[in-house]
Amino acid sequence: VARYVWNRTDFDAVDPDTTDYLMALFEPGDLRFDVERDPTMDPSIAETTEKAIRILSKNPKGFFLLVEGGRIDQGHHASRASMALHETVAFDNAVAKGLELTNEEETLTLVTADHSHAFTFNGYPFRGQSILGKSPLYGKDMLPYTTLMYGNGPGYKVIDNKRPDIRNVDTQSKDYVQLSAVPLDTETHGGEDVAVLARGPMAHLFHGVQEQSYLAHAMAYAGCVGRDLRHCESRPQHTNTKRILVTTTDDDRNSAPSQVSSISLVTALLAAVLH
């Protein structure tokens, strides 16, 4: 049975036990940021992840599922740190739901990204201070600055040859645009290495510093997909990887796809049983 849904009511009515294919499109374009999401209309990424896993788990051959928290990337490009961080929390909830619904002995779970952002932590904030707040120390110009800033982006501002005075600005607002050092219409990616966190069968393959393209080969090896399957024949059946759950935090349509994002056929909004 194949289903298409576009709202919360229809989504909640989908029975995973009787559904083989599900396409859920809740917005004409991108989903709303989680802090702006209407929960009566759009489910969360954790809820869509749960629905996808419950549908895919019926397949005795296992499954590959990619869940992408794409709005994190878009929040950073807009230099709206509050939006990006709230999206990260929503994404973390989806990861937690995925771990809850899968068995560590048979499901390899990866959490990763395909790039960083020009996003910096600044100053020496006090313990317990809001990450979205201002540094307790002022700059040499005797003006405050936020703990979070961007190396470039739309937040660059100069007023009378000075930085703007943000002492009376609510920097914790979801709409606040963080200060940046270089004026750009949209903030850019950074160059740092990104983490790959793994749990489950063959998780030991994901360690140290690796090229990004390594991930696809390691996942295929762990999932016994490909030409050389001798390691699968020699392993006890209960240790074989039957399911692969990949969660990633990027959705950049303007750059070349990474090895992780380019292999995705399934997202939290498009779930299909892989026969």
Give pTM, 2 decimals. 0.86
CA neighbor of 111 nearest in space, from 195, 36, 170, 32: 195
Model pLDDT, residue 241? 63
Is domain 2-117+189-272 given the CATH code 3.40.720.10 in the classification?
A: yes
Token pair 């920097």 is found at 171
Q: What is the token pair recorded at 254? A: 């303007």
Would residue 41 be called left, alpha or beta, if left means φ above 0 and alpha means ψ between -120 and 50 degrees?
A: alpha
DSSP type of residue 211: -
3 state DSSP class of 266: coil
From first to last of its 275 residues, the chain has per-residue pLDDT tens of 999 999 999 999 999 999 999 999 999 999 999 999 999 999 999 999 999 999 999 999 899 999 999 999 999 999 999 999 999 999 999 999 999 999 999 999 999 998 999 999 998 999 999 999 999 999 999 999 999 999 999 999 999 999 999 999 999 999 999 999 999 999 999 999 999 999 999 999 999 999 999 999 999 999 988 888 888 876 665 455 667 777 777 655 443 333 232 222 233 333 322 22
Q: What is the token pair recorded at 139? A: 């700059």
Model pLDDT, residue 263? 27
Give the start-to-end residue ranges of the domains of the chain: 2-117+189-272, 119-187
DSSP string, 166-210: -TTS-TTSTTPPPPEEEE-SS--EE-----EEEESTTGGGS-SS-
Model pLDDT, residue 252? 53
Model pLDDT, residue 251? 55
Cβ count near 104 (within 10 Å)? 12
Cα 94 versus chain centre, distance: 9
3 state DSSP class of 234: helix
